[in-house]
Amino acid sequence: MACSSRALARLEKIWTSKLRVLPSGVATAQQRRRAASWGGIPGAVANSTLSAVHLSPVSVSSDPSPIHIPDTPVEPHKLVESDIQDLAKDIRKELGGRHVELCDVAAYYFDGQGKAIRPLISILMARAINAHLNGGDSFIKTSQRQLALVSEMIHTATLVHDDVIDTSDTRRGKPSVNALFGQKKAIIGGDYILAKAGAMVARLNNDEVTQILAQVLEDLVQGEFMQMGANDGTSERFTHYIGKTFNKTASLMAYSCKGVAILGGSDESLAEMAFQYGKHVGIAFQLIDDLLDFVSSTQTMGKPAAADLQLGLATAPVLYAAQKHPQLNELIERRFSKPGDVQKALDCVHNSDGLEQTKFLAQKYCLEAVHYANTLIDSSYQKALINITEKVLNRSK
């Protein structure tokens, strides 16, 4: 199971110093395995500020054989069906206002077709925490469910803005909000969702939760900017990627889990456990998302395949593939901008173990999430939190 963070920090230091003596991108197979086991890759510098904050100390193992996530025959969606079923409807109600078209733009993605993974995790965490604190009684507070709604609203607002930035024409198999209403209305619609979410947070009347959600917004914006940043410096690339992944994806999951824990009356260490669970699941979720971009068809994902490469983004599968194919580094630096670059990068990824390594890293993060969930008392909700990690790893869209 998990090592103590001090032991992990020591191991990170040891491996970083060992890796540093090698020319960038060169490492023994053993070093490569060990580096992958804590989330780094050869040449990655693990002691930057970002890594201290965000590079998760996933559990250390020198054996990269398949990881087993404990079997929990609990169906998370079924378990919280009554909390989730009216989620989109309730959000649309919150989005009501004077201007009909603005409400239509804002409500467009709340059609019940999304994965709703953030509210699902938040609600499971809320009920698991409540059971933990109240002798097994796993009720949910209205404020906790409201926070689950807020997490989906923040997520959706970022998607609306993201589709403008990425000039996406489709999302979830239908025309994107910007394709339908135009760029300007989409941007304002995203702002409107955020404004409504902000008002809901204010109504929770909890300063700590308000601060947490402000942090999420900052992280999201920082993450998007990190993604736009320069792609040079091979050695820092993976650290930067994991940091960006935390900001763009895991922060919202981590802080939503922490928020519901605080609203449930958790002390600092229990709230931290909730945060860590959400963070590890969130990073794993994005790793699998980045993997699926290489293996899923447009039809399955509801958006163009290899979209990340087309946008100039180097995600985990490419970064791992660059270890075997160093010629990829040049393409990464120029963001796959020359004709033929995208195809070349695709070929390199498929002709390397980049996808396997990405999956393996996601498994490590999930295993760590399981470790955190296991610190809660046994309940069907706690088991469902474990089951979620399976779903995150094995999803196909």
Which residues form the interface with Mg ion (CB under 5 A)?
A: 162, 166
Q: How far apart are CA 373 and CA 385, in angstroms?
A: 7
Picking from 380, 393, 396, the residue whose alpha carbon sits closest to that of residue 76 is 380
**Judged by CB under 6 A, which stretch of 50-58, 152-160, 321-329, 365-373 contacts ligand FPP?**
152-160
Residue 60 interacts, among ligand FPP, Mg ion, none and using kind-specific CB cut-offs from 5 to 8 Å, with none
For residue 174, the SS3 value is strand
Residue 142 tokens read as 């209205």
Query: Are 256 and 124 in contact, with CB atoms under 8 Å apart?
Result: no
What is the per-residue burial (b if ≥16 Cβ within 10 Å, else e) of 96-112?
A: eeeeeebbebbbbbbee
Q: Residues binding ligand FPP: what is the number (CB under 6 A)?
A: 17
- Binding flag, residue 165, ligand FPP (CB under 6 A): yes
Is 67 or 221 the residue whose CB approaches ligand FPP more closely?
A: 221
**Judged by CB under 6 A, which stretch of 60-68, 70-78, 160-168, 354-362 contacts ligand FPP?**
160-168
Residues 6+ apart with CB under 8 A from 139: 127, 130
Is 79 or 309 the residue whose CB approaches ligand FPP more closely?
A: 309
Query: Are 144 and 123 in contact, with CB atoms under 8 Å apart?
Result: yes
Is 158 or 389 the residue whose CB approaches ligand FPP more closely?
A: 158
CB of 132 to ligand FPP, least distance (A): 30
- Binding flag, residue 57, ligand FPP (CB under 6 A): no
- Binding flag, residue 224, ligand FPP (CB under 6 A): yes
Q: How far apart are CA 134 and CA 140, in angstroms?
A: 11
**Judged by CB under 6 A, which stretch of 34-42, 43-51, 151-159, 230-238 contacts ligand FPP?**
151-159
- Binding flag, residue 240, ligand FPP (CB under 6 A): no
Among 83, 94, 152, 166, binds ligand FPP (CB under 6 A): 166
CB of 224 to ligand FPP, least distance (A): 4
Partnered with residue 174 across adjacent β-strands are 171
Among 34, 132, 237, 248, binds ligand FPP (CB under 6 A): 248
Among 83, 94, 162, 368, binds ligand FPP (CB under 6 A): 162
Picking from 85, 217, 54, 62, the residue whose alpha carbon sits closest to that of residue 149 is 85
Residue nearest to Mg ion (CB): 166
Q: Which helix (H) or strand (E) holds 171?
A: strand 170-171
Picking from 283, 364, 387, the residue whose alpha carbon sits closest to that of residue 61 is 364
Query: Are 140 and 122 in contact, with CB atoms under 8 Å apart?
Result: no
Among 187, 220, 263, 392, binds ligand FPP (CB under 6 A): 220
CA distances from 197 to 16, 27, 161, 255, 365 (A): 42, 47, 15, 15, 29
Contact positions vs ligand FPP (CB under 6 A):
157-159, 161-162, 165-166, 190, 194, 217, 220-221, 224, 248-249, 303, 307
